[in-house]
């Protein structure tokens, strides 16, 4: 049984000598969360001024030395966040790694897309007490706003006021402040005071097709500027992952349901908050989690099943920048999975167990026993998908809900309440 009316969501990734010049690329106009920005043509990144580590480099070493990549029988979905104790003795430097083109005559689409997008992807180091890790982020504007995951900036829910540093693609390091977090979508915005930033070109995740090229850029295992590619494996996938909401420095241990793009581009712990990019170099998603086949869900490596928050949803970061948080829709229902048959393992909707009086669902005329099969244009096959579909809408949004009552399909308009 899933209490949708609860104030918590329903449980459920070095410079090289002799490098050839990069191909000439004309200026492009880049949409962002703040309107249209004209970007200068990409230029070869300058040689890093030093090879110093950014933040506690023990994060990379401890992830490996502590055996956090071990396997196991359990499976699940885990956020891409590596932990490391502050007292670890061994350190490893992750060298700055801009996109290097050594042979301009054999540049392929992935190289071109990575060259365009990489200047907009940063590495994030976060620490609080003995906990910390490295993640990734996406530059939104020239004012220094950077999009990432809540679980990155809260050290997986362990800290509400973690120390945050950012290393840009050209090797510069900046202190960052947390503008706001949104645990229900696992999105957050931080800000740095820097000049000459390159805002990302945001694409349209609603136009993504299964089979499209997908390129992941970020800092897996702390290795800044790593580029991997694959395809879009699925769209409109709903996953459940642990919430990173904080309460006096402690994780709430609740889980959240979010709609994602699935990809087989290799992503690993540290890719969190980084970019999923299409063949045109446009951001189509924010990498957030991987499917885990290991017993340690927080540290399992890539098995070809990764998940990214669609950029159309992540564009609501403007709301976080404006108010420090984002609103989410709520139906006012208690629901459970509706199975396809008495002995079936497959589900066919979200069955309403109860309706909260005066709630959005009550005002729309839903009743106990109704089976919800769609919301806001999304197909609903279980309770988790219904929760995710409601939460990705802003509070106060009016959408269409589809449900079955006594075997007959019905629709209604529903104005969503506010999840708290």
**Residues tagged active-site:** 151, 186, 272
Buried b (16+ CB within 10 A) or exposed e, 75-113: ebbbbbbbbbeeebeeebebebbbbbbeeeeeeeebbbb
Nearest Cα residue to 154 out of 178, 184, 121, 185: 178
Nearest Cα residue to 400 out of 370, 376, 384: 376
Return the structure tokens found at 149. Answer: 């995951």
The DSSP code for 47 is: P
Buried b (16+ CB within 10 A) or exposed e, 208-225: beeeebbbbbbbbbbbbb
Q: Which helix (H) or strand (E) holds 95?
A: none
Distance CA 373, CA 410 (A): 10
Give the other-Cβ count within 10 Å of 398's Cβ. Answer: 13
Check: CB of residue 22 under 8 Å from CB of residue 43: yes
Residue 272: partners with Cβ closer than 8 Å, 6 or more residues away: 79, 80, 81, 135, 136, 148, 149, 151, 152, 218, 287, 288
**Per DSSP, what are the bridge partners of residue 401?**
375, 412
Distance CA 174, CA 192 (A): 6
Distance CA 285, CA 290 (A): 14
Residue 239: partners with Cβ closer than 8 Å, 6 or more residues away: 77, 257, 258, 260, 289, 307
**How far is Cα of residue 1 from the mean position of the Cα atoms in its chain?**
27
């Amino acid at each position: 049984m899933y209490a949708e009316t609860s104030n918590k969501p329903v449980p459920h990734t070095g410079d090289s000598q002799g490098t050839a010049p990069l191909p000439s690329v004309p200026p492009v106009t880049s949409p962002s969360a703040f309107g249209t920005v004209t970007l200068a043509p990409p230029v070869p990144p300058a040689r890093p001024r030093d090879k110093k580590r950014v933040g506690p480099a023990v994060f990379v070493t401890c992830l490996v030395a502590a055996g956090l990549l071990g396997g196991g029988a359990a499976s699940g979905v885990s956020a891409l966040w590596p932990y490391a104790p502050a007292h670890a003795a061994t350190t490893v430097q992750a060298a700055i790694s801009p996109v290097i083109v050594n042979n301009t005559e054999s540049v392929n689409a992935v190289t071109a897309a990575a060259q365009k997008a990489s200047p907009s992807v940063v590495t994030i180091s976060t620490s609080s007490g003995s906990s910390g890790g490295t993640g990734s982020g996406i530059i939104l504007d020239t004012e220094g706003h950077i999009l990432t995951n809540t679980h990155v900036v809260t050290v997986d829910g362990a800290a509400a006021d973690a120390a945050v540093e950012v290393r840009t693609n050209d090797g510069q390091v900046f202190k960052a402040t947390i503008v706001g977090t949104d645990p229900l979508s696992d999105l957050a915005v931080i800000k740095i005071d820097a000049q000459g930033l390159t805002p990302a070109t945001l694409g349209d995740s609603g136009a993504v097709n299964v089979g499209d090229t997908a390129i992941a850029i970020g800092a897996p295992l702390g290795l800044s500027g790593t580029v991997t590619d694959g395809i879009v494996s699925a769209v409109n996938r709903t996953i459940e992952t642990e919430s990173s909401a904080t309460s006096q420095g402690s994780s709430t241990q609740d889980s959240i349901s979010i709609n994602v793009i699935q990809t087989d581009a290799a992503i690993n712990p540290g890719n969190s908050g980084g970019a999923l990019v299409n063949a045109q170099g446009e951001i189509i998603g924010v990498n957030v989690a991987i499917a885990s086949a290991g017993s340690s869900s927080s540290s399992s490596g890539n098995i070809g099943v990764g998940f990214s928050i669609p950029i159309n949803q992540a564009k609501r970061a403007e709301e976080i920048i404006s108010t420090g948080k984002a609103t989410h829709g709520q139906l006012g229902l208690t629901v459970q999975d509706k199975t396809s048959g008495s002995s079936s393992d497959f589900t066919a909707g979200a069955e309403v167990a109860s309706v909260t009086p005066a709630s959005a669902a009550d005002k729309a005329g839903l009743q106990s026993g109704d089976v919800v099969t769609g919301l806001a244009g999304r197909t609903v096959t279980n309770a988790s998908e219904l929760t995710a579909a409601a939460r990705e809408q802003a509070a106060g949004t009016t959408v269409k809900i589809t449900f079955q009552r006594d075997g007959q399909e019905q629709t209604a308009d529903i104005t969503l309440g506010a999840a708290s």
